[in-house]
Each structure stands twice: as C-alpha cells, then as structure tokens.
Amino acid sequence: MSSGDKSKTSSQTDGKAAQGKKSEMGMMSYKVGGCCMGPFFLPTRYKCLIKMCCFNHIRNFISEPLCLQMYVFDQENFQGRMIEISNECMNVCELGMDRVRSLRVECGFVGFEQMNFCGEMYILEKGEYPRWDSWSNCQKNDYLLSFRPVRMDPEKHKICLYEVGEFKGRKMEIMDDDVPSLFSYGFTDRVGSIIVSCGFVGYQFPGYRGSQYLLEKGDYRHFNEYGARHPQFQSVRRIRDMQWHQQGCYTMASK
C-alpha cells in the first residue's frame, strides 16, 4: 500500500471515529432571542435537562394571558358595521352599534343579552358565531349588548359540586373533564354550592342545554352567587380555548 493510500485510510478512520463520538454526544440546536445557537454538541446525559428546561419555559409561556380580541358585527353572517373589542364593554350602543348579531372571537369572552352585564349570559370561546343559534340553544334574544373577558387561571381544571349550599351534602369532584349529565354519573340534578379552581360552564339541562352559568375561579356558597335563579344544574364543561388538557377524570364522594 502506498503512503498516499495509508494517509487516506487513516483519515477515513479518524472521520468515522469523530462521527461516532458526535453521535454519542448528541447534536442539539436552539433558537434564543431570535438568534440560532448551534448546532453544538452536548453529552447525552444533559439532553434531558435542557429539554425539561425548554418544556418549563413553554409551559410558563402558555400560562401567560393571551391577547383579548373580538370582532362584532351588527348583522348576521359577519355583515354590516364591525367594531373590535379588546376589553370590557358594558354597552355596545356607546360604541355606535345598536346590537351585536354575529362575532368572531380570538380569546374567551362572555356575552350578555342586556347592557351592564345583565340578563342571560353566553360563553364565547375562540371561534366564529354567525348568528344567535351558534351561541345559544334557545332563542330568547337574537343579539347581545355587553361583553367582558373570561377570567382564567393557569391551574388545571377542577370543580367541586355540592348538593346543598354552604358546601354541604353530597359532593362530586371533576378534574380535567366534561360531564354532559350529572344524573348519569349518580349525582343529583341540583347544585347548591360550588368550588372552582379554573373556568367551567354549567348548564341548566343535560347535554349542555338551557341557561348557562359562568364558573370562574372562586367559591360559590349559594346558587344565586353563580347567577342561577334556582339550583337546577345538570351538565358542566371546561372552558378550554386558553389551555390544552391531556386527560380527564371524575370522582364521587359522600359527605
């Protein structure tokens, strides 16, 4: 073998060894502050630590409040005059619009059929609402007059329902789940008090029908504190456009 061939063989051997060493170390590349850092090589035992740090950063970012924005129209199917709402609006008439008949929502709001947050309420999660039957399942009014953002919390969705006021009687605890019928899970069709850790919507009838009750984080010692005229409460679901949920479960307990 000539000296040139020996040099070539030695170079290939060194290259394979270096490639194997790089593979063993693990190549990683991250973008920080708009600048791409890498590619660089890192021992495999540190890769899990960096991935964990990145996951925590992303999780904290998701927990931050999103941009509150909604576009409302005075005619159905996004026709007519349009205005943008990004905060509380106690009366759309003050913005030069006599009523709202369709809307596009970028982040969770609650709409009311009367000014000053009065009358029936309707939860408006991210999406499009071309006419009244897209936000309500029973026509009482085909328009909305006031709005406010839904107050969310970064905690996991958890709600405790009590049969009687002051957190007494039978108890049902729901974690990261939706329940279309409380009665089908062996619970009563009446709820007298509630403890909420993150946003839910309660409904008067099974299948998410009837009057809606916005349940933001807090304690509700009596059914009138969550806006109900009577304790009839038969289904409940999460407000989910601000967080992603991987699993759900519910537990029943006697008291």
- Taking the C-alpha atoms of residue 201 and residue 195, their distance in angstroms, rounded to an integer, is 13
Let me know if residue 20 belongs to a domain. Answer: no
Shared-domain flag, residues 76 and 145: yes
Q: How many Cβ atoms sit within 10 Å of the Cβ of residue 213? A: 21
Q: In this predicted structure, what is the pLDDT of residue 85?
A: 94
**Could you read off the pLDDT of 194-220 as tens digits, one per residue?**
999 888 999 999 999 999 999 999 999
**pLDDT for position 12:** 53
pTM, to two decimals = 0.64
Q: What is the pLDDT of residue 48?
A: 37
Amino acid type, 46: Y
Of residues 53 and 227, more confidence is placed in 227
Beta carbons of 43 and 26 less than 8 angstroms apart: yes
Q: Is residue 165 in some structural domain? A: yes
pLDDT at 156: 79
- Give the mean model confidence (pLDDT) for residues 232-253: 60
Residue 54 · residue 32 · CB < 8 Å: no
Q: Supply 109's token pair.
A: 């709001």
Residues 168, 137 share a domain: no
What domain range includes position 118?
70-149
37 assigned to some structural domain: no
* C-alpha closest to that of 107 among 147, 67, 148: 67
Same domain, 181 and 240: yes
Supply the mean pLDDT for the chain: 75
User: What is the pLDDT, as a whole number, of residue 137?
Assistant: 72
228 and 177 belong to one structural domain: yes
The per-residue pLDDT for 166 is 96
Q: Is the model more confident about 28 or about 116?
A: 116
Q: DSSP of the chain, one letter per residue?
A: --HHHHHHHHHHHHHHHHHHHHHHH-EEEEEETTEEEEEEE--HHHHHHHHHHHHHHHHHHHHSPPP--EEEEEEGGGEEEEEEE-S-BS-GGGGT-S-B-EEEESS-EEEEEETTTEEEEEEE-SEEE-SGGGT-SS-S-S-B-EEEE----SSPPEEEEEEETTTEEEEEEEES--BS-TGGGT--SB--EEEESS-EEEEEETTTEEEEEEE-SEEESSGGGGT-SS-B--EEEE--TT------EEEEE--
Are 195 and 242 in a shared domain?
Answer: yes
Lowest mean pLDDT among 102-111, 147-156, 181-190: 147-156
Q: Can you tell me the mean pLDDT for 137-157?
A: 80
Number of folded domains that form the chain: 2
- The highest-confidence range among 11-25, 150-164, 204-218, by mean pLDDT, is 204-218
Within 10 angstroms of residue 115's Cβ, the number of other Cβ atoms is 16
Residue 252 has pLDDT above 80, yes or no: no
Q: Select the more confidently predicted residue: 13 or 133.
A: 133
Would 206 be classed as within a structural domain? yes
Which of 105, 127, 149 is the C-terminal boundary of a domain?
Answer: 149
